[in-house]
Chains A and B, each alone.
Chain A
Amino acid sequence: MLEIRGLDAFYGDFQALFGVDLSLQPGQTLALIGANGAGKSSFLHAICGMTQARGSVRLGDTDLAALPAVGRAAAGVALSPEGRRMFLSLSVRENLLMGANVRRRGPWTLDRVTGLFPILGEFADRPAGLLSGGQQQMVAIGRALMANPALLLLDEVSLGLAPVVAQEVHAALAMLRDQSEMITIMVEQDVNRAIAAGDRFLCLLEGRAALTGPCAGADLDAIGRAYFGEDDT
Chain B
Amino acid sequence: MIWFETLFSGLTLGGLYALFGLGLSLIFGVMKIANIAHGELVIAGAFLAFAVVDLLPVPLWLLLPLVTMGMFAVGYALQSALVNRVLGDDPLPPLLLTFGISIVAQNLLVEIFGADNRALDPGWLATARIGPVWFPVGLLPLGTLILTVVLFGVLHLGIGHTRWGRIVRATSDDPALVGLFGVKRRRVFAVVMGVSAALAALAGVLLAMRSSVTPFSGVERLLIAFEVIVIGGLGSIWASLLGGLALGLVHVISFRLDPASGLLYGHILLLVILLIRPEGLAGRKVTR
Contact = CB atoms under 8 A, between A and B. Distances in A.
Interface of A: 48-50, 68-70, 72-74, 77-79, 81, 85, 87-90, 94, 97-99, 101-103, 143, 147
B102 to A, nearest CB: 30
Contacts, number: 60
A102 B169 contact: no
Contact of B170 (A49, A69, A74, A87): A87
B170 A102 contact: no
A94 B180 CA distance: 16
Interface of B: 163, 166-167, 169-170, 172-174, 176-184
23 contacts: A48-B180, A68-B179, A69-B179, A70-B179, A70-B183, A70-B184, A73-B180, A74-B182, A78-B180, A81-B177, A87-B173, A87-B177, A88-B173, A89-B169, A90-B166, A90-B169, A90-B170, A94-B166, A98-B167, A99-B181, A101-B181, A103-B182, A147-B181
A102 B166 CA distance: 14
Given A90-B166, A97-B166, A101-B167, A79 B173 contact: no
A50 B179 CA distance: 8
Can you list the 3 inter-chain pairs with the closest CB atoms, starting with the nearest?
A69-B179, A102-B182, A87-B170
Residue in B169, B177, B181 with the greatest tally of chain A CB atoms within 10 Å: B181
Contacts of B180: 48-50, 69, 72-73, 77-79
Contacts of A74: 182
Nearest to B187: A70
B166 A98 contact: yes
A88 B169 CA distance: 9
Contacts of B170: 87, 89-90, 94, 98
A100 to B, nearest CB: 9
A94 B172 CA distance: 14
Nearest to B185: A70
Contacts of A69: 179-180
B184 A87 contact: no
A48 to B, nearest CB: 6
A8 to B, nearest CB: 21
A175 to B, nearest CB: 24
Contacts of B183: 70, 101
Contact of B174 (A72, A85, A94): A85
A68 B177 CA distance: 13
A48 B163 CA distance: 24
A78 B181 CA distance: 8
A77 to B, nearest CB: 8
